[in-house]
């Protein structure tokens, strides 16, 4: 599965008012692993940048004067995102700007180029309703280092978004079922183990470290593991005694 994490920076907030893309970046993951393939350009917008937008991303019009225009990199961008799952944070914003840029040069919209569009902001709101779900907030929540993000930058934001998405969807691979394979349990066939199972028991040092860790947990609050260890054990009679009692009961009833 090929996934592209994409972010843009713009001259302002509203593409309908003629604002343009001034930076675009995308990073590639295949089967949830980074490939180190990325797409990144600064772009000359041929218009002024709103002061508020420049304060967010720090990109000046002077810096962009010698940069290519969107039309110059459009075909390379289309080839990079084609037939992928395109993942963005607040996807309607980026898709709106990209579709305007593509429309200006008579190209198909993003929805016709990518196989699927995923909005991580929508996912985050469903997971964390009522909470802040900006990229910075999600980095803090999932323990992702965003200390380099003093200003918004498309390439860094795309890389951070990939890490956030992986954290948000961790474990989804193990939950996926291959429907093409027969269900062994339902067919009644016993599973075949091609290799013997190897069980490695903890040594004394590892057991001691485990006990020390439980002790540290107990200091900070209730430790469920130690609570279970201290619970009284209800002993049950061995199977042999149960069968003897049953035999006597049957003999007495026969008399």
Catalytic residues: 152
Task: Say how far apart CA 138 and CA 140 lie, in whole Å.
Answer: 5
CA distance 99 to 109: 5
| CA distances from residue 32 to 18, 51, 78, 82 in whole angstroms, order as listed | 36, 38, 21, 18
Evaluate whether 7 touches 154 at the Cβ level (below 8 Å): yes
* CA–CA dist 151, 43 (Å, integer): 18
Closest CA to 154 of 46, 26, 35: 26
SS3 (DSSP) at 187: helix
Give the residue from 26, 25, 40, 35 showing the smallest Cα distance to 1: 35
Q: Tokens for 89?
A: 């944070």
Question: How far does CA 226 lie from the centroid of its chain?
Answer: 34
């Amino acid at each position: 599965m090929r996934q592209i994490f994409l972010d843009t920076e713009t001259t302002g907030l509203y593409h309908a008012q003629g604002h343009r893309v001034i930076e675009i970046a995308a990073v590639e993951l295949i089967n949830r692993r980074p490939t180190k393939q990325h797409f990144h350009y600064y772009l000359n917008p041929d218009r002024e940048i709103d002061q508020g937008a420049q304060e967010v991303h720090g990109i000046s019009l002077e810096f962009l004067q010698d940069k290519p225009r969107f039309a110059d990199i459009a075909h390379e961008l289309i080839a990079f995102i084609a037939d992928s799952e395109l993942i963005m944070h607040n996807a309607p914003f980026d898709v709106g700007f990209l579709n305007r840029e593509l429309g200006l040069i008579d190209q198909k919209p993003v929805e016709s180029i990518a196989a699927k569009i995923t909005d991580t902001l929508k996912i985050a709101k469903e997971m964390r309703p009522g909470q802040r779900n900006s990229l910075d907030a999600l980095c803090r929540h999932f323990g992702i280092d965003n200390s380099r993000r003093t200003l918004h930058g498309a390439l860094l934001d795309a890389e951070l978004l990939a890490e956030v998405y992986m954290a948000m969807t961790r474990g989804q691979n193990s939950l996926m079922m291959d429907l093409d394979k027969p269900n062994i349990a339902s067919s009644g066939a016993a599973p075949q183990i091609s290799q013997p199972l190897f069980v490695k028991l903890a040594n004394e040092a590892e057991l001691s470290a485990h006990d020390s860790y439980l002790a540290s947990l107990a200091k900070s609050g209730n430790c469920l593991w130690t609570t279970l260890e201290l619970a009284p054990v209800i002993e049950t009679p061995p199977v042999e005694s149960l069968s003897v009692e049953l035999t006597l009961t049957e003999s007495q009833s026969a008399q």
